[in-house]
Amino acid sequence: MDQTFSKFQPVVLSLFRFITGLLLFQYGVAKIFKFPVLPYFANIPPLITTAGAIELILGALLMIGLFSRIVAFILSGEMAFAYFLGHMFKKPEEPVFLPLLNGGTAAILFCFACLYLATSGPGPISVDEMRKK
What would the pLDDT profile of 76-88 be if each residue is shown by its tens digit?
999 999 999 888 8
Closest CA to 13 of 131, 132, 125: 125
Q: Is the dihedral of CA 10, 16, 19, 20 positive or negative?
A: negative
Task: Tell me how long the chain is.
Answer: 133
Where residue 123 falls among pLDDT bands split at 50, 70, 90?
Answer: very high
* In-domain check, residue 34: yes
Range of the domain at 20: 2-123
How many structural domains compose the chain? 1
* In-domain check, residue 129: no
| Whether residue 43 has pLDDT greater than 90 | no
Q: Taking residues 111-125, what's their average pLDDT?
A: 98
The pTM of the full predicted model, rounded to 2 decimals, is 0.91
CA 127 to mean position of chain CA atoms: 18
Closest CA to 51 of 18, 19, 84: 84
* In-domain check, residue 58: yes
Which residues, 6 or more positions from 14, have their beta carbon under 8 angstroms from its beta carbon? 65, 122, 123, 124, 125, 126
Q: What percent of the chain has pLDDT over 70?
A: 99
* In-domain check, residue 130: no
Q: Residue 10 and residue 130: Cα distance in Å, rounded?
A: 14
* In-domain check, residue 128: no
* In-domain check, residue 22: yes
* In-domain check, residue 87: yes
* In-domain check, residue 132: no
Give the end-to-end CA distance of the chain in Å, rounded to a whole number. 32
